[in-house]
Amino acid sequence: MTRFSISDRHISDECLTFVIAEIGINHGGDLGVAKQMVESARRAGAEVIKHQTHIVEDEMASAARKIVPENADVSIYELMERCCLNLDEEVELKAYTEELGMIYLSTPFSRRAADFLMEIGVPAFKIGSGECNNYPLIEHISNFGLPVILSTGMNDLKTIKPAVKIMEEHQISYALLHCVNLYPTPPSLLSLGAISDLRTNFPNAEVGFSDHSVGNYASFAAVGLGANIIERHYTDHFSRSGPDISCSIDEAGLRDIILGCEVVRQARGGCKKKVAEEKLTADFAYATVVTISSIKKGEKFDKANVWVKRPGTGGIPAAMYWDILGATATRDIEIDEQLFECDYA
């Protein structure tokens, strides 16, 4: 798989899971709240903060004033006007995030937003699921030459392929995130098998999961299936109001996901084989052949005088029990002795 990096942070099977804390629009348009969320995520151990850059008039036509999302009570146009930061505030938020030692990413929802993010020096672009089939915008962003993380919710392999083709034609490194755009997503609709589909069909992509479910179970499962990037909506506490709070995690949840993803990452892969470190356990857990009655030299071994018992420190493993039946004892052997090759012929 192609090496994928953002700000010298490598992302691959061999690296810590790249956990993205998306504050998005959970701050409700309040820069002070946004900074509190960044501080909270940093306390939890976050490496990456992701924002959303909305220049509403460039992003949406007036028809959007009639569209009300399922997780809101006003139109999408009004919602974004209410919840977005202005560009000067975003510059301040980026600087604050980086002062705390974290990577700042943001999702542009329009061409002007993408241009703005390039101007302020983001190290990569995150493109949301709604833009996965917005090929003109993907091409515009790909022209910048920066790495791209692309969410693929509301899309299938057929519509993802043209987006990938554009990014590969521009020779940029990219990651694809499986995603289901329901807030929150019930377990029955998570379709985590899509992670394997993405890895198989797009071998040049790093693969991850943008998780809109409740709790961290799905993210852990995704890492077990090969996801190296996990994105979660984030809030500093659940008393905040906002359309994405229901599928967000808080400081304790983020700390849990960072630690848990690393446990799962280390545990995945491999094949079914003995592990050298198991030997101490095998010494007492395995069984070897022992006498269950005394045996005279020249007497034959049979089921009445030999059987298998722990520990595994004898010379004849239990798997060879049938092989020694009928063999002749080469010495007098007391009851309850472990047998070795020199004891029979």
Reported as a single tens digit per residue, the pLDDT across 293-316 is 999 999 999 999 999 999 999 999
The pLDDT of residue 244: 85
Instruction: Give the SS3 label for residue 167.
Output: helix
Strand 288-291 relative to strand 248-249, pairing: unpaired
Split at pLDDT 50, 70, 90, the class of 262 is very high
Q: What is the mean pLDDT of residues 257-280?
A: 96
The pLDDT of residue 1: 41
- In 210-223, which positions are buried (b, 16+ CB within 10 angstroms) versus exposed (e)? bbbbbebebbbbbb
User: Cβ distance 228 to 207 under 8 Å?
Assistant: yes
Instruction: Please state, in angstroms and as integers, the Cα–Cα distance from residue 189 to each residue in 137, 217, 231, following that order.
Output: 28, 14, 17
CATH class of the structural domain 276-343: alpha beta
Q: What is the mean pLDDT of residues 220-238?
A: 97
Taking only the tens place, the pLDDT of each residue in 144-182 is: 999 999 999 999 999 999 999 999 999 999 999 999 999
| Residue 2 scores a pLDDT above 70 | no
Rounded CA separation 335/309 (Å): 13
Split at pLDDT 50, 70, 90, the class of 17 is very high
Rounded CA separation 206/234 (Å): 23
Instruction: Look at 1-10, 28-37, 86-95 and tell me which has the smallest mean pLDDT.
Output: 1-10
Taking only the tens place, the pLDDT of each residue in 180-209 is: 999 999 999 999 999 999 999 999 999 999
User: Cβ distance 150 to 162 under 8 Å?
Assistant: no
Mean pLDDT for the chain?
Answer: 96
Distance of CA 76 to the CA centre of its chain: 30
% the chain with pLDDT above 70 = 99
Token readout for 189 is: 């609709």
Rounded CA separation 67/307 (Å): 77
Q: E-assigned strands of 189-298?
A: 206-211, 229-234, 248-249, 288-291
Instruction: Give the SS3 label for residue 186.
Output: coil
Domain boundaries, the chain: 12-267, 276-343
- In 237-261, which positions are buried (b, 16+ CB within 10 angstroms) versus exposed (e)? eeebebbbbebbbbbebbbbbbebb
Rounded CA separation 126/104 (Å): 11
Token readout for 247 is: 């599928």
pTM: 0.91
Rounded CA separation 170/282 (Å): 55
Rounded-to-10 torsion of CA 67, 69, 73, 76? -50
Which CATH number is associated with domain 12-267?
Answer: 3.20.20.70
Taking only the tens place, the pLDDT of each residue in 82-125 is: 899 999 999 999 999 999 999 999 999 999 999 999 999 999 99
Taking each helix axis as running N to C, give the angle between helix 135-142 and helix 157-169, from 0 to 180 degrees, rounded to the nearest 10. Answer: 30
Token readout for 82 is: 């209410």
